[in-house]
Amino acid sequence: MKVILLGELRGKGGEGDVVEVAQGFAENYLFPNKIAILATKGNLKQLEERRHNIAKREEKRLADAAALKEILEGKSVKVDARIGEEGQLFGSVTSANIADAIKEQLGVEIDRKRIARSQAIKMAGRHEVEVDLYRDINATVTVLVGVDEEEPEEAEAEVEQTEEEATEE
């Protein structure tokens, strides 16, 4: 069944795209949630008249996603979690926890569904997490679970300082 998308549908397309979907998917999900309309001759004609406005909105979305990528790319966020023996967490760090940490520490609100994570994080340490911003625009954020980014550097500085004191004596 051919439908015209009224908004972004991940994996299928964006606003104004005409895509082929299963009839049940269209009737039970897309139409009731007003994500798509049936691709009839009249609707296709209206779509052609609205193409200019759709292109403007698409440009704005792409620009916003690129700006958001600049903010997020290469940044790190710290997530506090209780850690047991051998770096194993009590519980786990989920996409919702990561989204909350990004909002709190970087001031950017991200939908938890946009965080591409197949499983929850169950070990302490550094984890690279991909954030799907819009279509094929992605940003990589480092999630620090139970560790500080500065800790290794501070530990090295203390070792160097004690070595200097030992050579002075």
Burial (CB < 10 A; 0-12, 13-18, 19+), residue 69, is: middle
For residue 29 the two structure tokens come to 């999900």
Are 2 and 18 a contacting pair, CB within 8 Å? yes
Could you tell me the sign of the dihedral formed by the alpha carbons of 40, 46, 18, 65, in that order?
negative
Q: What is the pLDDT of residue 135?
A: 80
Query: In sequence order, which residues have a C-beta less than 8 Å from that of residue 81 and are 6 or more positions away?
Result: 89, 90, 91, 93, 124, 145, 146
Region 121-136: mean pLDDT is 89
Q: What is the mean pLDDT of the chain?
A: 84
Flag whether pLDDT at 148 surpasses 70.
Answer: no
- Which amino acid, residue 155? A
18-27 contact pairs (CB < 8 A, 24+): 18/44, 18/47, 26/1
Question: Is pLDDT of 22 > 80?
Answer: yes
Number of residues assigned to the chain = 169
Going from the N-terminus, what domains does the chain have, and what CATH number goes with each? Answer: 2-67 (3.40.5.10), 73-153 (3.10.430.100)
- Which of the four pLDDT bands, split at 50, 70 and 90, describes residue 163? very low
Q: Using the predicted structure, report yes or no on whether residue 32 has a pLDDT greater than 60.
A: yes
108, 128, 107, 125: which is closest to 117 by C-alpha? Answer: 128
Lowest-confidence region among 26-30, 103-107, 165-169 = 165-169
Quick one: pLDDT at residue 154?
A: 39
Q: pLDDT (tens digit, 9 = 90+) per residue, 104-117?
A: 999 999 999 889 87
pLDDT confidence tier of residue 73, bands split at 50, 70 and 90: very high
Q: What is the pTM of this model?
A: 0.70
